Amino acid sequence: MIDARLLPLQRRLLAPLAKALAALGISADQISLAGFALGALCLPALAFHAYGLALALLALNRLADGLDGAVARRTAPTDRGAFLDIALDFVFYALFPLGFALADPTTNALPAAILIAAFIGTGSSFLAFAAIAARRGMSAAEYPQKGIYYLGGLTEGAETIAVFTAMALWPTAFPALALIYALACAVTTILRWLQGWRAFTDPAKLS
């Protein structure tokens, strides 16, 4: 919901570090993979109730997620980079609630499962729209530098990370936060379905 408004600020803040990394010959793909590895470590950190460590790993993962694109724009953006960026993000988003389920299966497993199911809805609608939009040559005006068509919604990256941060800060509130955010994700999915229905109902272009 607010990603487009945050992007200019993010790019200004990350520009000096991205310039330095590019000068060192560090590629965007390397940053993407390193960021995912750090994010994946949230799973054992959460499972063993190391919530402060999980929060630090979350911050590093998000820093890498911003830096990979900034470095790519200074060098040579690639389709592989765009693929890695979105594919690794979606896996990370599923691993984070899974960590809470492992930490306390009795209390957290069902809310975590519901939230992950809701992420399937937002992720699948996002990617399905992007695939057909690419075939039609469409581009998102609010995200002109994204590697794929970036379909916004009520629950975008900034909102997801804000909720993950709240979960790490107040782990006992995980069930309530997970269910509330799952509901918001369901609203996003339905709105994206409607947007796709309207955007792709031209009979002359159906196949």
- The pLDDT tens digits for 5-33 are 767 777 788 788 888 888 888 899 999 99
Long-range contacts of 73-77 (CB under 8 A, 24+ apart): 73/18, 73/145, 74/18, 74/19, 74/22, 75/22, 75/27, 75/28, 77/28, 77/145, 77/147
Could you identify the residue written with the tokens 């990617």?
Answer: 127
Right CATH for 3-201 from 1.10.357.140, 1.20.120.1760, 3.40.50.300, 3.30.1280.10: 1.20.120.1760
Write down the domain spans for the chain: 3-201
* Each residue's pLDDT tens digit, 63-108: 999 898 889 888 878 889 889 989 999 999 999 999 999 999 999 9
Q: Is 138 left (phi over 0), alpha (psi -120 to 50) or beta?
A: beta
- pLDDT tens sequence across 31-67: 999 999 999 999 999 999 999 999 999 999 999 998 9
* pLDDT at position 206 over 50: no
Q: Considering the entire predicted model, what is its pTM?
A: 0.86
Q: 54, 59, 68: which is closest to 21 by C-alpha?
A: 68
Per DSSP, 149 falls in state -
